[in-house]
Amino acid sequence: MIPNTLPDFLGNLHSEISRLIISMDQAAIGRARDLIFQAERGGGRVHVTGIGKPGHVAGYAASLLSSTGTPAYELHGTEAVHGSSGQVLPGDVVIAISNSGETEELKATIETLKRNGAKIIAVTGNPSSWLADRGDEVLVAGVKTEGDPLNKPPRASIVAEIIMLQSLSILLQDEKDLTPEKYVKWHPGGTLGKSVNK
């Protein structure tokens, strides 16, 4: 027998994501796309970073962007202040992910990157946060609750961040006129590659 906790969680998650999609600032996503295009025209690159669970989202987002026509690199959120910020050059764009926008470990990284001439796209659930204030563009991926009784483990907020970054990737790939033939050049293996190569 399934306890009530599971259907309650699924219902809460559905409500949070539905609310996010309805309230999503599509104009802000368009401006983030334009910021990336401006960087690319100047020879700049895209990096994605976060701390904790958003760090795992950063890895996924960098991989998704790279496979759909926007080369992107994962930047470890804490290693950046121990030398890894050297991968980010002036004019590059860094997508920084933090639900609270107040993650202490990320603050030093963002300050370092901005001093080094990077532009910041902030992905956060808190539009009034430290991170949002320092973003050159802000994508608000906010939820009211995480969906489960504890309301502590990142659940709905992680889904919200992924949906926001997927939306950005859609705008980028559309503008770059991604075709199945182009896609398979970056993804020749596995079932996806076979489905295009038939």
What's the pLDDT score for residue 178?
Answer: 79
Tens digits of residue pLDDT in 151-182: 999 999 999 999 999 999 999 999 888 788 77
Locate the domains of the chain by residue range.
5-176
Tens digits of residue pLDDT in 124-149: 999 999 999 999 999 999 999 999 99
Tens digits of residue pLDDT in 176-188: 887 887 777 766 7
What's the pLDDT score for residue 119?
Answer: 98
Tens digits of residue pLDDT in 88-129: 999 999 999 999 999 999 999 999 999 999 999 999 999 999
Judge if pTM exceeds 0.75.
yes
Check pLDDT > 60 for residue 36: yes
Per-residue pLDDT band at 14 (split at 50, 70, 90): very high
What's the pLDDT score for residue 100?
Answer: 97
DSSP label at 77?
Answer: T
5-176 topology per CATH = Rossmann fold (3.40.50)
What's the pLDDT score for residue 197?
Answer: 58
CA–CA dist 38, 42 (Å, integer):
7
DSSP label at 73?
Answer: E
Buried b (16+ CB within 10 A) or exposed e, 137-164: bbbbbbbeebbbeeeeebbbbbbbbbeb
What's the pLDDT score for residue 190?
Answer: 58
Cross-sheet strand order for the sheet of 46-50: 72-74, 46-50, 93-98, 119-124, 137-140
Q: Which one-letter amino acid corresponds to residue 150?
A: L
Check pLDDT > 60 for residue 1: no
Q: Specify the range with the lowest mean pLDDT, choosing from 9-18, 35-44, 173-182, 189-198.
A: 189-198
Over range 52-61, report the average pLDDT.
97
DSSP label at 120?
Answer: E
